[in-house]
Protein backbone atom coordinates (compact mmCIF):
# COMPACT_ATOMS: atom_id res chain seq x y z
CA UNK A 1 0.00 0.00 0.00
CA UNK A 2 1.14 3.50 -0.85
CA UNK A 3 0.80 4.47 2.77
CA UNK A 4 2.94 1.60 3.93
CA UNK A 5 4.70 3.64 6.52
CA UNK A 6 7.50 1.28 7.37
CA UNK A 7 8.47 1.20 3.74
CA UNK A 8 8.39 4.97 3.60
CA UNK A 9 10.58 5.60 6.61
CA UNK A 10 11.08 9.25 6.10
CA UNK A 11 14.27 10.99 7.09
CA UNK A 12 13.24 14.51 8.01
CA UNK A 13 16.41 15.58 9.77
CA UNK A 14 20.03 15.46 8.63
CA UNK A 15 21.19 15.31 12.27
CA UNK A 16 21.91 12.05 14.06
CA UNK A 17 18.27 11.97 15.12
CA UNK A 18 16.05 10.58 12.40
CA UNK A 19 12.30 10.96 12.24
CA UNK A 20 10.42 7.86 11.13
CA UNK A 21 6.79 7.58 10.19
CA UNK A 22 5.01 5.01 12.35
CA UNK A 23 1.40 4.18 13.32
CA UNK A 24 -0.75 5.25 10.38
CA UNK A 25 -3.72 7.58 10.86
CA UNK A 26 -6.41 4.84 11.16
CA UNK A 27 -4.35 3.05 13.82
CA UNK A 28 -3.89 6.25 15.87
CA UNK A 29 -7.56 7.10 15.48
CA UNK A 30 -8.54 3.61 16.64
CA UNK A 31 -6.22 3.89 19.64
CA UNK A 32 -7.66 7.14 20.98
CA UNK A 33 -11.32 6.26 20.23
CA UNK A 34 -10.69 2.95 21.97
CA UNK A 35 -9.13 4.65 25.01
CA UNK A 36 -12.13 7.02 25.26
CA UNK A 37 -14.73 4.25 24.85
CA UNK A 38 -13.02 1.92 27.33
CA UNK A 39 -12.78 4.70 29.94
CA UNK A 40 -16.46 5.61 29.42
CA UNK A 41 -17.52 1.94 29.56
CA UNK A 42 -15.53 1.31 32.74
CA UNK A 43 -17.11 4.43 34.26
CA UNK A 44 -20.70 3.45 33.32
CA UNK A 45 -19.99 -0.22 34.22
CA UNK A 46 -18.76 0.85 37.66
CA UNK A 47 -21.95 2.89 38.21
CA UNK A 48 -23.95 -0.20 37.20
CA UNK A 49 -21.99 -2.36 39.65
CA UNK A 50 -22.22 0.08 42.56
CA UNK A 51 -25.61 1.66 41.87
CA UNK A 52 -26.91 0.52 45.29
CA UNK A 53 -24.06 2.26 47.09
CA UNK A 54 -24.58 5.34 44.88
CA UNK A 55 -28.26 5.52 45.84
CA UNK A 56 -29.50 4.69 42.33
CA UNK A 57 -32.58 2.52 42.60
CA UNK A 58 -35.56 1.51 40.48
CA UNK A 59 -35.89 -0.65 37.41
CA UNK A 60 -36.03 2.25 34.97
CA UNK A 61 -32.71 3.68 36.12
CA UNK A 62 -31.12 0.21 36.02
CA UNK A 63 -32.27 -0.42 32.43
CA UNK A 64 -31.36 3.13 31.30
CA UNK A 65 -27.79 2.64 32.60
CA UNK A 66 -27.52 -0.63 30.71
CA UNK A 67 -28.87 1.00 27.53
CA UNK A 68 -26.32 3.81 27.81
CA UNK A 69 -23.54 1.27 28.41
CA UNK A 70 -24.64 -0.73 25.36
CA UNK A 71 -24.86 2.32 23.06
CA UNK A 72 -21.28 3.33 23.95
CA UNK A 73 -20.45 -0.38 23.62
CA UNK A 74 -21.59 -0.30 19.97
CA UNK A 75 -19.15 2.53 19.21
CA UNK A 76 -16.42 0.56 20.98
CA UNK A 77 -17.34 -2.59 19.01
CA UNK A 78 -17.45 -0.88 15.60
CA UNK A 79 -14.09 0.78 16.29
CA UNK A 80 -12.60 -2.56 17.31
CA UNK A 81 -13.98 -4.41 14.28
CA UNK A 82 -12.64 -1.70 11.93
CA UNK A 83 -9.24 -2.05 13.63
CA UNK A 84 -9.29 -5.83 13.21
CA UNK A 85 -10.10 -5.45 9.50
CA UNK A 86 -7.41 -2.75 9.16
CA UNK A 87 -5.02 -5.16 10.90
CA UNK A 88 -5.53 -7.55 7.97
CA UNK A 89 -5.50 -5.10 5.04
CA UNK A 90 -3.76 -1.98 6.39
CA UNK A 91 -0.16 -0.80 6.43
CA UNK A 92 2.67 -2.88 7.83
CA UNK A 93 2.71 -1.11 11.20
CA UNK A 94 -1.03 -1.79 11.66
CA UNK A 95 -0.84 -5.53 10.98
CA UNK A 96 -2.27 -7.89 13.59
CA UNK A 97 0.60 -10.28 12.88
CA UNK A 98 2.90 -7.66 14.46
CA UNK A 99 1.04 -8.10 17.74
CA UNK A 100 1.75 -11.81 18.10
CA UNK A 101 3.95 -12.53 21.14
CA UNK A 102 7.60 -13.23 20.34
CA UNK A 103 9.19 -14.76 23.44
CA UNK A 104 12.71 -15.03 22.02
CA UNK A 105 12.57 -11.29 21.20
CA UNK A 106 11.42 -10.63 24.80
CA UNK A 107 14.44 -12.54 26.20
CA UNK A 108 16.83 -10.78 23.82
CA UNK A 109 15.32 -7.40 24.77
CA UNK A 110 15.62 -8.15 28.50
CA UNK A 111 19.25 -9.24 28.03
CA UNK A 112 20.07 -5.98 26.22
CA UNK A 113 18.46 -3.89 28.98
CA UNK A 114 20.48 -5.87 31.56
CA UNK A 115 23.67 -4.95 29.72
CA UNK A 116 22.66 -1.29 30.08
CA UNK A 117 21.72 -0.83 26.42
CA UNK A 118 18.59 1.07 25.31
CA UNK A 119 17.45 -0.67 22.15
CA UNK A 120 15.09 1.45 20.01
CA UNK A 121 11.95 0.23 18.26
CA UNK A 122 9.71 1.74 15.64
CA UNK A 123 6.73 -0.20 16.96
CA UNK A 124 6.11 -1.69 20.41
CA UNK A 125 9.12 -3.14 22.18
CA UNK A 126 8.79 -6.93 22.65
CA UNK A 127 7.51 -6.60 26.26
CA UNK A 128 5.02 -3.89 25.30
CA UNK A 129 3.85 -6.19 22.55
CA UNK A 130 2.83 -8.82 25.11
CA UNK A 131 0.55 -6.29 26.83
CA UNK A 132 -0.90 -5.15 23.49
CA UNK A 133 -1.65 -8.74 22.47
CA UNK A 134 -3.31 -9.52 25.84
CA UNK A 135 -5.38 -6.32 25.63
CA UNK A 136 -6.55 -7.13 22.10
CA UNK A 137 -7.64 -10.65 23.13
CA UNK A 138 -9.50 -9.22 26.14
CA UNK A 139 -11.14 -6.43 24.11
CA UNK A 140 -12.48 -8.97 21.62
CA UNK A 141 -13.71 -11.24 24.46
CA UNK A 142 -15.39 -8.27 26.17
CA UNK A 143 -17.00 -7.21 22.90
CA UNK A 144 -18.52 -10.65 22.20
CA UNK A 145 -19.71 -11.26 25.76
CA UNK A 146 -21.07 -7.69 25.96
CA UNK A 147 -23.07 -8.20 22.77
CA UNK A 148 -24.42 -11.51 24.12
CA UNK A 149 -25.42 -9.78 27.38
CA UNK A 150 -27.01 -6.89 25.45
CA UNK A 151 -29.18 -9.43 23.62
CA UNK A 152 -30.07 -11.67 26.56
CA UNK A 153 -30.41 -8.96 29.21
CA UNK A 154 -32.20 -6.06 27.50
CA UNK A 155 -33.02 -7.57 24.07
CA UNK A 156 -30.74 -5.19 22.17
CA UNK A 157 -29.20 -5.98 18.75
CA UNK A 158 -27.66 -7.94 17.24
CA UNK A 159 -29.07 -10.91 19.22
CA UNK A 160 -31.96 -9.25 21.06
CA UNK A 161 -34.61 -10.01 18.40
CA UNK A 162 -33.66 -13.69 18.29
CA UNK A 163 -33.65 -13.95 22.09
CA UNK A 164 -36.98 -12.21 22.65
CA UNK A 165 -38.64 -14.24 19.86
CA UNK A 166 -37.29 -17.43 21.45
CA UNK A 167 -38.40 -16.72 25.04
CA UNK A 168 -41.78 -15.23 24.11
CA UNK A 169 -44.70 -17.43 25.21
CA UNK A 170 -46.91 -19.01 22.54
CA UNK A 171 -48.84 -16.36 20.63
CA UNK A 172 -46.81 -13.47 22.09
CA UNK A 173 -44.83 -11.16 19.79
CA UNK A 174 -41.19 -11.17 20.97
CA UNK A 175 -40.89 -7.46 20.15
CA UNK A 176 -43.44 -6.70 22.89
CA UNK A 177 -41.24 -8.11 25.70
CA UNK A 178 -39.68 -5.65 28.13
CA UNK A 179 -36.41 -6.21 30.03
CA UNK A 180 -36.87 -7.52 33.58
CA UNK A 181 -40.62 -8.00 33.01
CA UNK A 182 -42.02 -11.53 32.96
CA UNK A 183 -45.19 -10.56 31.10
CA UNK A 184 -45.53 -12.73 27.95
CA UNK A 185 -42.40 -14.72 28.72
CA UNK A 186 -42.05 -18.52 28.64
CA UNK A 187 -40.19 -19.12 31.93
CA UNK A 188 -38.95 -22.55 30.87
CA UNK A 189 -37.18 -21.05 27.88
CA UNK A 190 -35.79 -18.26 30.04
CA UNK A 191 -34.33 -20.95 32.32
CA UNK A 192 -32.81 -22.65 29.26
CA UNK A 193 -30.83 -19.59 28.19
CA UNK A 194 -29.93 -18.51 31.75
CA UNK A 195 -26.64 -20.52 31.94
CA UNK A 196 -25.35 -18.90 28.71
CA UNK A 197 -26.45 -15.47 29.90
CA UNK A 198 -24.72 -15.94 33.27
CA UNK A 199 -21.55 -17.31 31.70
CA UNK A 200 -21.37 -14.37 29.28
CA UNK A 201 -21.91 -11.94 32.19
CA UNK A 202 -19.15 -13.50 34.30
CA UNK A 203 -16.64 -13.70 31.46
CA UNK A 204 -17.51 -10.07 30.58
CA UNK A 205 -16.89 -8.71 34.07
CA UNK A 206 -13.78 -10.82 34.87
CA UNK A 207 -12.25 -9.91 31.50
CA UNK A 208 -12.87 -6.25 32.36
CA UNK A 209 -11.03 -6.69 35.70
CA UNK A 210 -8.11 -8.33 33.90
CA UNK A 211 -8.16 -5.61 31.23
CA UNK A 212 -7.99 -2.88 33.88
CA UNK A 213 -4.98 -4.64 35.44
CA UNK A 214 -3.19 -4.92 32.09
CA UNK A 215 -4.04 -1.31 31.18
CA UNK A 216 -2.40 -0.16 34.44
CA UNK A 217 0.68 -2.34 33.75
CA UNK A 218 0.73 -1.03 30.14
CA UNK A 219 0.60 2.62 31.26
CA UNK A 220 3.32 2.01 33.89
CA UNK A 221 5.45 0.23 31.27
CA UNK A 222 5.00 3.05 28.76
CA UNK A 223 6.02 5.66 31.38
CA UNK A 224 9.13 3.69 32.42
CA UNK A 225 10.13 2.97 28.79
CA UNK A 226 9.47 6.60 27.79
CA UNK A 227 11.70 7.93 30.58
CA UNK A 228 14.45 5.29 30.64
CA UNK A 229 14.79 3.60 27.26
CA UNK A 230 12.59 4.74 24.39
CA UNK A 231 11.62 8.43 24.53
CA UNK A 232 8.79 9.57 22.26
CA UNK A 233 6.44 6.58 22.63
CA UNK A 234 3.39 8.61 23.61
CA UNK A 235 3.95 11.45 21.14
CA UNK A 236 4.35 8.88 18.33
CA UNK A 237 0.80 7.65 19.00
CA UNK A 238 -0.38 11.24 18.56
CA UNK A 239 1.78 12.53 15.69
CA UNK A 240 2.57 9.26 13.90
CA UNK A 241 6.27 10.17 13.96
CA UNK A 242 9.07 8.72 16.03
CA UNK A 243 12.46 10.34 16.55
CA UNK A 244 15.25 7.81 17.02
CA UNK A 245 18.94 8.50 17.47
CA UNK A 246 19.99 5.05 16.29
CA UNK A 247 18.58 2.49 13.85
CA UNK A 248 15.51 0.65 15.18
CA UNK A 249 15.68 -3.06 16.04
CA UNK A 250 12.49 -3.69 14.05
C1 LIG B 1 -13.92 -2.44 27.24
C2 LIG B 1 -15.22 -2.33 27.07
C3 LIG B 1 -16.21 -2.61 28.19
C4 LIG B 1 -16.07 -2.44 29.52
C5 LIG B 1 -14.89 -1.89 30.29
C6 LIG B 1 -17.32 -2.88 30.14
C7 LIG B 1 -17.58 -2.88 31.50
C8 LIG B 1 -18.66 -3.48 32.10
C9 LIG B 1 -18.84 -3.68 33.50
C10 LIG B 1 -17.86 -3.25 34.59
C11 LIG B 1 -20.03 -4.29 33.67
C12 LIG B 1 -20.62 -4.79 34.99
C13 LIG B 1 -21.83 -4.10 35.40
C14 LIG B 1 -22.76 -5.03 36.16
O15 LIG B 1 -22.55 -6.24 36.20
O16 LIG B 1 -23.70 -4.49 36.70
C17 LIG B 1 -20.63 -4.47 32.37
C18 LIG B 1 -21.87 -5.03 32.12
C19 LIG B 1 -22.47 -5.05 30.89
N20 LIG B 1 -21.90 -4.75 29.68
FE21 LIG B 1 -20.05 -4.04 29.42
N22 LIG B 1 -18.17 -3.30 29.14
C23 LIG B 1 -17.53 -3.15 27.94
C24 LIG B 1 -18.04 -3.43 26.70
C25 LIG B 1 -19.35 -3.78 26.44
C26 LIG B 1 -19.95 -3.92 25.14
C27 LIG B 1 -19.20 -3.75 23.80
C28 LIG B 1 -21.24 -4.23 25.32
C29 LIG B 1 -22.31 -4.46 24.26
C30 LIG B 1 -22.49 -3.65 23.24
C31 LIG B 1 -21.47 -4.33 26.74
C32 LIG B 1 -22.67 -4.67 27.34
C33 LIG B 1 -22.85 -4.89 28.69
C34 LIG B 1 -24.10 -5.30 29.29
C35 LIG B 1 -25.42 -5.56 28.57
C36 LIG B 1 -23.87 -5.41 30.67
C37 LIG B 1 -24.89 -5.77 31.72
C38 LIG B 1 -24.66 -7.14 32.18
C39 LIG B 1 -25.27 -7.38 33.51
O40 LIG B 1 -26.12 -6.65 33.95
O41 LIG B 1 -24.88 -8.36 34.12
N42 LIG B 1 -20.30 -4.05 27.40
N43 LIG B 1 -19.76 -3.98 31.42
Nearest CA to ligand 1 atom 2: 38
CB neighbour list of residue 32: distance below 8 Å, 6 or more residues apart: 237
147, 158 contact by CB (below 8 A) = yes
Ligand 1: lining residues by beta carbon, under 6 Å: 38, 41-42, 45, 48-49, 66, 69-70, 73-74, 76-77, 142-143, 146-147, 149-150, 153, 201, 204-205, 208
pTM: 0.90
Res 103: pLDDT: 95
In sequence order, the β-bridge partners of residue 75 are none
Q: What pLDDT tens digit does each residue of the chain (250 aa) get?
A: 444 444 344 444 444 788 898 899 999 999 999 999 999 999 999 999 999 999 999 999 999 999 999 999 999 999 999 999 999 999 988 999 999 999 999 999 999 999 998 899 988 999 999 999 999 999 999 999 999 999 999 999 999 999 999 999 999 999 999 999 999 999 999 999 999 999 999 999 999 999 999 999 999 999 998 898 888 888 889 998 888 888 888 8
Res 230: pLDDT: 83
For residue 42, the ligand 1 atom closest to its alpha carbon is: 5
Give the distance (Å) from ligand 1 centre to CA of residue 41.
7
Res 13: pLDDT: 41
Nearest CA to ligand 1 atom 15: 49
Name the residue of 44, 73, 210 to mutate for ligand 1: max ligand atoms within 8 A of Cβ. Answer: 73
In 3-state terms, what secondary structure has residue 3?
coil
Domains present along the chain, CATH in parentheses: 23-244 (1.20.950.20)
Q: How far is CA 53 from CA 57, 70, 232, in A?
A: 10, 22, 42
Quick one: which H or E segment has residue 241?
strand 241-244
Amino acid sequence: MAQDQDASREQVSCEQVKVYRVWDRPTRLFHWINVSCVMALIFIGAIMLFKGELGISGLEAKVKLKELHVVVGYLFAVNLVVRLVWGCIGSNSARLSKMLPNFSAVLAYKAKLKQGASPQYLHHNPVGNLAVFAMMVLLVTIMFTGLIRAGTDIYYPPLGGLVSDYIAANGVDGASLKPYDETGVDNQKVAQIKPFKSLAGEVHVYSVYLLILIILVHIAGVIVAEIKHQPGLVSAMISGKKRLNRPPED
